Structure 1
Amino acid sequence: MKLICLNAWGGKLADALLDYVKAEAPDVLCLQEITHTPASDKDRLTYRDGPHSLPQSANVFRDLCHALPDHAAFFHPAAQGELWDHTAAVPSQFGLATFVHRSLPVLGQVHGFVHKCYSADGYGDHPRPRNAHGVRVRDDVTGRSIGITHMHGLRDPKGKMDTPERTAQARRLLRLSDKLARPGDLRIICGDFNVEPDSETLQILADGGFRELVTTGGFAGTRSSHYQKPGRFADYMLVDQPELITDFRVIYDPEISDHCPLLLRT
């Protein structure tokens, strides 16, 4: 089974992103920062946050569904806010997407909020609502069931330091993984956690029986050249049975986001 996990950056590099996922065709694709704007069929609208105005890929989820027609697609919004078509406001949802190839039976799912709750009346103040989604699939090649849970960790404008909110978030994420998996399953937790490698978040998951593969694999970071701020780590991949992993990589080329894809094979 091939798994790819990525913060898609709201589809800012949508063409490169779509080409990459079509070429890789992973069995399971876990994506954070996905837009879904069912009220508009436009490819791009404008995101406004105070004085900031940015072009925004409006329908990344739709475009990914077209790019991966042989995958079951799941979208879980964390919030609904507004994008703009010139002077017209368009309701748009922002959250997680998970794609599972139809050859893999989906045996179970979990979804829950790890910080705050769904915001229906705007994206909200930072730190904004965050959710997590998990799928339990059967890999008939290995004869094994695999529980995969991913999240987009809260963003704090003050930085990536440990906070009580991040501690609570990590414990909620671990509980969701516990709820999804069955004894003997390979368990995987991944996503853009928005924390440093020495964070309490990763320690909580380690205490829960998980090994983190980015830092233990000696990778230099998970950010592409599009990310200009200090700090090169944000994304992590953890497993509870590392001996079952046949390959793990941080993909630095091609660049399809300001984050790097994490690719794992079992």
Structure 2
Amino acid sequence: MHLTCLNAWGGRMHAELSAWLAQDDADILCVQEVVHVPDAPAPWLDYRDDGRNLPQRADMLADLAKALPTHDITFCPAARGPLWQGATQVWSQWGLATLIRRGLPVTHQAQGFVHGSFGADGFGPHPRSRTGHALRLWRPEGAVVVAHMHGLRDPEAGKADTPERAAQAARFAALVEAVRQPGDEVILCGDFNVLPGSETLQILSRLAPRELVTEGGHPGTRNSLYLKPERHADYMMVSAGLAVAQFDVIHDPEVSDHCPLVLTLA
């Protein structure tokens, strides 16, 4: 089984990302920062916040479906907020998505909020609402629970531990426990927005004690498109009994300002 996890940066590198996803052809794809505008008026819209104007791919669900046409998609929106086409406001949904190769037997699923609740009238101030998604996949080798989340962004605290982040990790773990059965292996991944050694990783290590980014000596999960000094944000955590054949942090090609995390099971 081949699993890829990536913060897609709102699809800002659409062409590079789509081509790479089609080539990677993961059995399970966990994607954060997914934008969905039903009946989008244009392929690209602008996100405006704190004086920034960031181009966003308007319907990433359609883009993902085109890149991986043999997969089913579950979209977990965290908020509904405005994007812009010139002076025209366009309402968008923002959250995370999970793509599963069609035919793989998913026996249980749980999605919900690890922080806040759905905001229908705007994205709101930071730290904003966040969702998580957990699924239980049957395999002849034994069932595995795969879960991902997009951790809080906190401009004041940076990536430091906060009570909100600890509570977020506990809620994420509860999503996993809602679908996990005795004997199941566990994979936890996502853009957790914390540093190695954080309380978030300590809480989640009770379910998945091996963290493969730091275990493998990777210097970070951000690439040249990210200009701040902290290089860690994304993590891949697995239970002790999971047979890992290969794990890598992909720096080339660049398809986002985050590096894809790619896991292959034995």
Q: Distance in 2 between matches of 1:187 and 1:161?
A: 25
Q: Which residue of 2 is the match for residue 60 of structure 1? A: 60
Contact 1:41 1:59 (C-alpha < 8 Å) held by counterparts? no
Q: How does 1:153-172 map onto structure 2 within 5 Å?
A: 153-158=151-156, 159-172=158-171
Contact 1:39 1:90 (C-alpha < 8 Å) held by counterparts? no
Give the deviation of 1:103 after TM superposition: 2.8
Give the deviation of 1:206 after TM superposition: 1.7
Q: Residue type of the partner of 2:194?
A: V
The number of residues matched between the two structures is 264
Give the deviation of 1:51 after TM superposition: 3.0
Structure 1: 5+ residue runs without aligned partners? none
Q: Any idea what the Cα deviations from partners look like across 1:8-35, whole Å, max 9, x if unmatched?
A: 0000111111001101110000000000
Q: Residue type of the partner of 1:60?
A: M
Q: Residue type of the partner of 2:13?
A: L
Q: Which residue of 1 is the match for residue 25 of structure 2? A: 25
Q: How does 1:1-266 map onto structure 2 within 5 Å?
A: 1-139=1-139, 142-158=140-156, 159-266=158-265
Give the deviation of 1:205 after TM superposition: 1.4
Give the deviation of 1:49 after TM superposition: 1.8
Contact 1:211 1:242 (C-alpha < 8 Å) held by counterparts? no
Q: Specify whether residues 132 and 243 from structure 1 end up closer, same or farther in structure 2 by C-alpha distance, changes over 3 A only.
A: closer
Contact 2:137 2:144 (C-alpha < 8 Å) held by counterparts? yes
Q: Distance in 2 between matches of 1:255 and 1:248?
A: 17
Partner SS state of residue 40, structure 1: coil
Contact 1:150 1:189 (C-alpha < 8 Å) held by counterparts? yes
Give the deviation of 1:152 after TM superposition: 0.1
* TM-score, normalised by the number of residues in structure 2: 0.96
**Runs of 4+ residues deviating >3 angstroms:** none
Cα RMSD of the aligned pairs, angstroms, is 1.2
* TM-score, normalised by the number of residues in structure 1: 0.96
Structure 2: 5+ residue runs without aligned partners? none
